[in-house]
Amino acid sequence: MGSLQLRQLHPLFAAEASGLDMRRPLTPEAVAEVNAAMDRYAVLVFRGQAMEQEEQVAMARQFGPLNPGLKQIGRQQERMRERELIDISNLDAEGRPMTADTKKMVSQIANQLWHSDSSFQSPAVSYSMLNCLRPTSWGGETEFVDLRAAWDTLPERLRAMVRGREAEHYALHSRITLLGDDGYSEEQLKALPAVVWPLVRVHPGSGRTALFCGIHARRILGMPLAEGKMLLLDLLEHATRPHLIYTHEWQAGDLVFWDNRCTLHRGRRYDLAEPRELRRTTCDEVPVGATPAGTLLAAE
């Protein structure tokens, strides 16, 4: 097994990674290399890593316990054999593209809003890993921004406004933004209570300050609702200016890692009548420098 090699893809963050076969068990040294690269670049792109479901789950477990996301409230139609896999596709149980008005497709369309995976949970999640099986012939890219760069470029007047402030993040805020709450039962609406995160956070791996915003944030504590919502929109607009965005154009077999603690991402429009299939795994956060207990596999 080789060592990790990196080629930067954007002036501020994101790198193409090579030299490791992510489908095979990694040595502790290789896991540490990937973690260090994630602390620096926040987004890593591995090419030619098409995985079976079991391979992706085994790979992801080397970086932390796996988090099922919105499967916790029964919003995922089960196409996956592995519960830890999150289906990022437009396909029904028979593998056919669904219409845009189905509940699952509303959830997929909501992924086109800028967000950090599971920011509505505490403890936090860390990495997401998305493996592409079938890209579309056009569109369907994923865009990323580094929230550390967003803080670095935030005007001092706005910095003063957000220091010490906290925002409430709610699991279904993005979906309700598009659909309203009529499509959800009372049990589902209460299944994942809102959590509170500071608007300014220190990224644990790099030690850099990050501006933590995104579509799951629905209000700022201690501010009138309308004023807080407008501030959240202003912060999101600042963080997602075009020159800060890395756009990933998917190829079959791509495996992309990103760190939800310091990035936002969104999917882009594509023809919903054309099959698109990707699978995501997401890890719960573990202490910096710690090896997830029981998750490292012995290298062959």
Q: Which of 87-91, 187-191, 196-200, 277-281 has the lowest mean pLDDT?
A: 187-191
Q: Has residue 163 been placed in a domain?
A: yes
φ, ψ for residue 120 (rounded to 5)?
Answer: -85, 10
**Sheet order of strands, 166-169 included:** 195-198, 166-169, 217-220
Average pLDDT estimate for 173-192: 71
Q: Has residue 17 been placed in a domain?
A: yes
Global pTM exceeds 0.85: yes
Token representation of residue 209? 């300050």
95-105 confidence digits (pLDDT tens): 899 988 887 88
CA distance 199 to 133: 35
Reply yes or no on whether the pLDDT at 272 is more than 90.
yes
Do the Cβ atoms of 47 and 253 come closer than 8 Å?
A: yes
CATH value at residue 77: 3.60.130.10
139-160 confidence digits (pLDDT tens): 999 999 999 999 999 999 999 9
Burial grade of 242 (CB within 10 A; 0-12, 13-18, 19 or more): exposed
CA distance 189 to 35: 35
Q: Has residue 23 been placed in a domain?
A: yes
Number of domains comprising the chain? 1
Reply yes or no on whether the pLDDT at 54 is more than 50.
yes
Q: Has residue 248 been placed in a domain?
A: yes
Q: Has residue 156 been placed in a domain?
A: yes
CA distance 250 to 238: 26
Give the C-alpha distances (Å, rounded to integers) separating 224 from 136, 229, 290.
43, 9, 41
Q: Which residues pair with 264 in a beta bridge?
A: 145
> First CA to last CA across the chain, in angstroms?
9
Burial grade of 81 (CB within 10 A; 0-12, 13-18, 19 or more): exposed
Q: Has residue 107 been placed in a domain?
A: yes
Q: Which residue has the higher pLDDT, 121 or 279?
A: 279
Token representation of residue 163? 């220091």
CA distance 144 to 99: 27
Q: Has residue 295 been placed in a domain?
A: no
Q: Has residue 44 been placed in a domain?
A: yes
State the residue range of the domain holding 55.
5-284
Token representation of residue 62? 């080397």
